[in-house]
Amino acid sequence: MEAILKEYFGYEKFRYGQQEIIENILAGDNALGILPTGSGKSLCYQIPGLMFEGTTLVISPLISLMQDQVDSLKRRGISAECINSTMAKRDLNDVMGRLVRGELQFLYVAPERFNNEEFKTAVRHAEIPFVAFDEAHCISKWGHDFRPSYQSIIPELKALLPDVQIIAVTATATEEVEENIQELLNIKNNAVFKTSVRRDNLKLSVNGTYQREQFILSYIKERLEQSGIIYVSTRAEVEKLSVYLTDNNIENVIYHGGLGKKERNDNQQKFVSDEVKIVIATNAFGMGIDKPDIRYIIHFNLPGDLESYYQEIGRAGRDSRPSDCILLSTQRDVNLQQFFIDRATATDQYKDHMREKLDLMLQYNKTSKCLSSFIVKYFNHDEYVEACGQCSSCLSAERTEPMTSEARLILELVQETDGQLSKELVIQVLRGENADNIVARGLDSQERFGVLDSYRTSDVNHLVEELIMRGYVHCAGNRMHLVEKSLDILNRKVKLYTVPYRKHYNERVNVSTDSSPNEILYDKLLSTRKNLADKHKLDEDAIFTDQILKEFAKKMPQSKQDMMHIQGVGNYKLKHYCPYFLEEIREHGGSGVTSG
């Protein structure tokens, strides 16, 4: 394995995660690898492919991506080809003949190729022990770039190659996407390998300037020798921004789906070869671009979800050198993304899911928390994070509000309860809420019960989130735990400051179960969701996410009208699912509220 790495790819040792994935494949199990952009995902299937007898079949979404991979393998003396829709019939037959004769080590195809009977016949007669799904997030209906063709070929593939071994690799998979891929490809929990999405060399920033064009012009003028990508949401705005920069003597090329194939390829090549330093593009540009020295990515508009955003900024700094990732946006961008969702040819259920993702993108755009930690927690709720110290939130001059004493009270409660409380319970205890779930656990007798009773729920939540995002406490498995860094606060070694967050400093708020999730009711709602998911053969999150159920448990809506005020409840879910949850809430005896 190490000899192949050195001989064919020139590396002395594996990167983190690669060896574990390869060893799992060689042991005969299917595997899922979730590794950041630029971390060498392709090696995870190329090295086993070189060790197996026969041809490794690679499912890939884009012609340009396939061709780049094939060219790279050929330069290393490896027999590889791809099949795509632009090939002449004679060339196509030649590749399929080589497949059947066992002359190929790798064959790259798009999923749509499985609609072709000649291709399927060739696959039946070939020796194919191993199949790799590249960009595997395309398989999942909950992925940001779902392609039905990716998912629809899975039964066909299993019928054609019943004993084939499978690997799936991607850089972007939320926990629900990860679980969906596992289910579809029969991948066990112990065969999922993922590394942190954190990229310490990327400096993240959100800039709320209203003069976006002027900001970009000034930024570029200070770094004319650096390569960068500017992402824009529409073709018209790509053209408009390009003209603006050209008029100001900034050379650039453009890339979007409205250009001819030759012009797109020419412009891409000019950028990759450093003939032109700047490309202005829609999200059609970037997948498979092998350019390690991209020093900045600027988003002129707000993306529709964090997966897309992370994948796009992941194209910066692949040489591990510092690189900037800047997000610009206006309210008009939000309206545009909502328009895209409304016009999408998708079910109401899927549109609701897209709206939830857009809401999280908006939260990233507005958060005062560490941006790097925010992204890490989005992809893996249980990962321990520490503030990066270099993003626009961490460097904000607005961190003037002392929070040291409150932080100590929070950590002392976590220490006393030995890491047995969820974040929601910690907040309820600190606020002194006499909720039935608090009383039932005897938490109302805790020494620190009610020590923050003059704070609103949102205030205490802000403080707890600050501690999590800055690494002073760890929240995993829905439980809060102390870490070594916690001692700095408990032993009074540090002083902490946050952004101003309290609206009424001397107000004593009324405590009630309406302001935090009622955990007994929440457990009942989880059970209701599971029953509905089993009945309709859906993922549980397709009914409602955990966060929405927590909102139900907080607000205890009493009617469909009440439920419509809760983010993530669309018309489809209102009609098909909400009656079951309303019935559970009423049986629980909640009096209900209709606002937060």
In a domain, 216, yes or no: yes
Q: Which tokens sit at 357?
A: 């993702």
Query: Domain of 412: which CATH number?
Result: 1.10.10.10
Q: Are 354 and 231 found together in one domain?
A: yes
Contact 546, 517 (CB under 8 A): no
Letter string b/e over residues 119-131, b meaning 16 or more CB atoms within 10 A of that residue's CB: beebbeebebbbb
Q: Are 265 and 285 found together in one domain?
A: yes
138: which DSSP letter?
G
pLDDT at 64 (0 to 100): 74
Considering 171, 194, 217, which residue would you say is the last residue of a domain?
Answer: 194
Residue with tokens 């979404």: 61
Q: Are 215 and 351 found together in one domain?
A: yes
Q: Are 88 and 104 found together in one domain?
A: yes
pLDDT at 509 (0 to 100): 34
Q: Are 207 and 161 found together in one domain?
A: no
In a domain, 542, yes or no: yes
Residue-wise pLDDT for 23-50, tens only, equals 999 999 999 999 877 678 899 999 999 9
Q: Are 459 and 556 found together in one domain?
A: no
Q: Are 158 and 96 found together in one domain?
A: yes
Residue with tokens 């705005």: 237
Q: Are 151 and 51 found together in one domain?
A: yes
Q: Are 190 and 210 found together in one domain?
A: no
- What's the domain range around 190? 2-194
Query: Domain of 282: which CATH number?
Result: 3.40.50.300
pLDDT at 508 (0 to 100): 35
Look up the pTM and report it.
Answer: 0.78
Residue-wise pLDDT for 48-80, tens only, equals 999 999 999 999 987 777 888 898 899 999 999
In a domain, 19, yes or no: yes
Q: Are 82 and 139 found together in one domain?
A: yes
In a domain, 434, yes or no: yes
pLDDT at 127 (0 to 100): 95
Q: Are 289 and 409 found together in one domain?
A: no
In a domain, 104, yes or no: yes
Q: How many domains does the chain have?
A: 4
Residue numbers in the chain where pLDDT is lower than 50: 504-515, 590-596
- Residues facing 585 on adjacent strands: none
pLDDT at 472 (0 to 100): 97
Amino acid at 487: L
In a domain, 230, yes or no: yes
CA distance 573 to 557: 15
pLDDT at 517 (0 to 100): 59
Q: Are 530 and 482 found together in one domain?
A: no
580 to each of 564, 586, 589, how far by Cα in Å?
15, 10, 15
